[in-house]
Structure formats: C-alpha cells, structure tokens
Amino acid sequence: MFEKSSWIRLPRNVVVGHGVLDEVVPVVADLHLDGTPLLITSPTPREVAADPIVADFRDSGVEPAMVTVDTASFDAVERVIDAVEAEEADYLIGVGGGKAIDIAKMASHHCQIGFVSVPTAASHDGIVSNRGSVPDGDTRHSVAAEPPLAVVADTAILAEAPWRLTTAGCADIISNYTAVMDWRLAHRLKNVEYSGFAGALSEMTAEILVENADSVRPGLEEASWIVTKALVSSGVAMSIADSSRPASGAEHLFSHQLDRLAPGAALHGHQVGVGSIMTAYLHGGEKGFWLDIRNALESIDAPTTADELGVDDETVIESLTTCHEIRDRYTILGDGMDEGAAREVAKETGVIG
C-alpha cells in the first residue's frame, strides 16, 4: 500500500523586477494580510528600502512598526519577538541582506505569524528558503523555519548592493552541483531520502547560472535578475525536498567550520564556492569537473583560493579535517578526512599554495 505524504511549502507571490519595491503594499493585500506589519531591517537597507515601504503603508492608511537590528544573533531575534508582542504585530516584513531576513524568518516561526522577504542583496539562498540560521557564540544554529509568504526583490536596489554580495550569491548557487552529488551519495550509502525533482531542479539552477555567467557583471542590473531567479529556484528545490540537502553538502560544512575558525573572514557564498571546488575533486568522476567549478567561480569574480578568502592555509586544512563533525549529514567527507589527504586536495585544486 502506498502511504507516503509530503507538504511542499512555497512562497505564494514572488515579484522580481525593476522598481518593484512599490509593490510591497499590493503584494501584502493580495495575501490578505491584515493588521500591523512589523518591519525588520538594518541601518543601510532601512534607508534604501524600509523607509520607502513604511511611507507606502502610511499612504494606504496602515501604520507599520519597525525594528532595526545590527547583528544576526539570538538577542536580535529576542528583540524582534518582544517587539511583535509590544506592537501587537500581525505579520513581519524582513528588509535587508541576509541577517534581517534570517531574523524575520526565525521570529515568524517562533511567533507563528507570516513573513514577507524583501532582499536588498542577492547574497545567499536564505532569502527564499525555509531554513534560518544565526550565529550563537562560536556555533551556528540552523533551524527549520517557514518559507516567506512572498518575496519582493527589486533589481534596481539589488544592483546597487556591493558587487561581492552578488558574486557570493552566485557562488552559493554554483555549489548546488556538489550539494546534489553529496545528497545522491548519502542516498546510495545511507538510504537518505532523495528527491529526483528537487535534485534536478537544483542542478539545473546552477547550470542556468553558469550558462549566463557572461551577464553576471558589475553594473549590469540583469546580473541581479539572474542571481535572484536562481536563488528563488534553489529555494523551491529545498521546499520540494523539505530539506536543505539540494543546496547544502560538504562544501557547506566546510564553510560553517570556517565561520567558527575564522569568524567574519569571508562571505558565506564565497566560502562554499571554494569548498565546492575541493569536494568536486573528491567526488572524482568526470575528469576536470572540479576545474569547471573553479572556472565558473573565476568567471564571476568569486574567490577560488584560501588567499582570496582571507584565510590561511592551515585553517583550510583544519576545516576540511574537522567539518564532518558539525552535524549529522553524510557527505563525500564520510567520517572525516585524513590530514595528508586534505593537504593533497587543497594543493591539487590550487586552493592552498
């Protein structure tokens, strides 16, 4: 008897385009969200996006509340949760780069109210996905959360974000290749549940991004469009799988470990990109596959070496040999890499000198 069932939770409205910031109020109306919105933002996005949204709400007769956060932390999540109670907010709008949206997502999960994602940088796939993570001391907590009810991504604003944020978003997408390889491996060896739909969508997303790499250039608004669409598509793959597996394998473990060993050294997407070069090498298979990943990263100006990440060689080795311990997620790293082997892969791929 067939007794399987699953929920696929997706955003209902995804609005991407030039000047669509104006459409936050209509998008909220379309979702039938009533009452008081609470905007969560940080200083720079506040000026370029949150303040104009507040003005639009006022014009429509709604008085929103706003919390400005400086860092992604549990304290910030607590502050937002307190504000939800104090302001009697009915739904949340996360306006910013990764952190404001991650905080909105986690607070929305805790308070059981919906949230809308308004990214001002296309720097990682958290802007759409149903996963949230904030650093807590020297660890990072990743929690299952709600996907946003809607995503409003204004490419005019995204194009103004620092270029490295966009290349980080691209690198996060390129790493889908190795994430899916790890997922299939875990399926074959550990019987981890695998979704062919989610796997194929995730790989195709990386493929389309790489095919359009020529348009991923600073100053081109089209670049923001391509990256945002890819991040949305990657988020959909995670929703279909009800797991971050389609977009997160050993290269993400490597990056999370770097976050602990060298906090703040590089952007998430850049770290996973470099991790992906090395785990592609470990997967072997098609000759030169790791080189394709490295070339793809290079072509969009993303880092490909420890040096470019701003971390030293030994930190890369330590991260490679210990990152399998971070979480119970089976990948090509298995039960851990031997130090000599780690040095070999990092050298062979040119990540360390």
Residues lying near Zn ion in the complex (CB under 5 A): 172
Residue 31's contacts (CB-CB under 8 Å, 6 or more residues apart) are 12, 13, 114, 116, 149, 150
Minimum separation from the CB atom of position 234 to Zn ion (A): 9
> Is 51 labeled as ligand-binding?
no
Q: Which is nearer to Zn ion, 21 or 240 (CB)?
A: 240
**Neighbouring C-beta atoms of residue 322, cutoff 10 Å:** 18
Pairing of strands 139-144, 115-119: unpaired
Grouping H, G, I as helix, E, B as strand and the rest as coil, residue 261 is helix
Minimum separation from the CB atom of position 24 to Zn ion (A): 25
Q: Which is nearer to Zn ion, 172 or 259 (CB)?
A: 172
Minimum separation from the CB atom of position 271 to Zn ion (A): 9
> Which of 88, 53, 84, 52 minimizes the C-alpha distance to 67?
84
Burial tier of 268 (Cβ tally within 10 Å: 0-12, 13-18, 19+): buried
Minimum separation from the CB atom of position 98 to Zn ion (A): 10
**Residue 285 token pair:** 């298979």
Minimum separation from the CB atom of position 86 to Zn ion (A): 33
CB of 268 closer than 8 Å to CB of 168? yes
Residue 13's contacts (CB-CB under 8 Å, 6 or more residues apart) are 27, 30, 31, 149, 150, 151, 152
Q: Supply the DSSP string of 15-43, one letter for each residue.
A: EEETTGGGGHHHHHHHTT--S-EEEEE-H
Q: Which is nearer to Zn ion, 172 or 182 (CB)?
A: 172
> Is 268 labeled as ligand-binding?
yes
Q: Which is nearer to Zn ion, 114 or 119 (CB)?
A: 119
> Is 101 labeled as ligand-binding?
yes
Minimum separation from the CB atom of position 124 to Zn ion (A): 5
> Is 328 labeled as ligand-binding?
no
**Residue 235 token pair:** 């988020």
> Is 256 labeled as ligand-binding?
yes
**Neighbouring C-beta atoms of residue 286, cutoff 10 Å:** 9
Minimum separation from the CB atom of position 172 to Zn ion (A): 4
> Which of 169, 189, 8 minimizes the C-alpha distance to 98?
169
Q: Which is nearer to Zn ion, 33 or 231 (CB)?
A: 231
Grouping H, G, I as helix, E, B as strand and the rest as coil, residue 174 is helix
CB of 170 closer than 8 Å to CB of 231? no
Q: Which is nearer to Zn ion, 172 or 318 (CB)?
A: 172
> Is 171 labeled as ligand-binding?
no
Minimum separation from the CB atom of position 179 to Zn ion (A): 9
CA distance linking residue 125 with residue 282, whole number of Å: 24
**Residue 55 token pair:** 């003005």
> Is 252 labeled as ligand-binding?
yes
Q: Which is nearer to Zn ion, 96 or 235 (CB)?
A: 235
> Is 161 labeled as ligand-binding?
no
Q: Which is nearer to Zn ion, 24 or 274 (CB)?
A: 274
> Is 120 labeled as ligand-binding?
yes
> Which residue number has the CB closest to Zn ion?
172
> Is 350 labeled as ligand-binding?
no
Query: Of all helices (H) and strands (E), which one includes residue 154?
Result: strand 150-154
Q: Please give the annotated binding residues for NAD(+), written as ranges.
A: 98-102, 120-123, 129
Q: Please give the annotated binding residues for Zn(2+), written as ranges.
A: 172, 252, 268
Q: Please give the annotated binding residues for substrate, written as ranges.
A: 125, 172, 256
Q: Please give the annotated binding residues for glycerol, written as ranges.
A: 125, 172, 252, 268
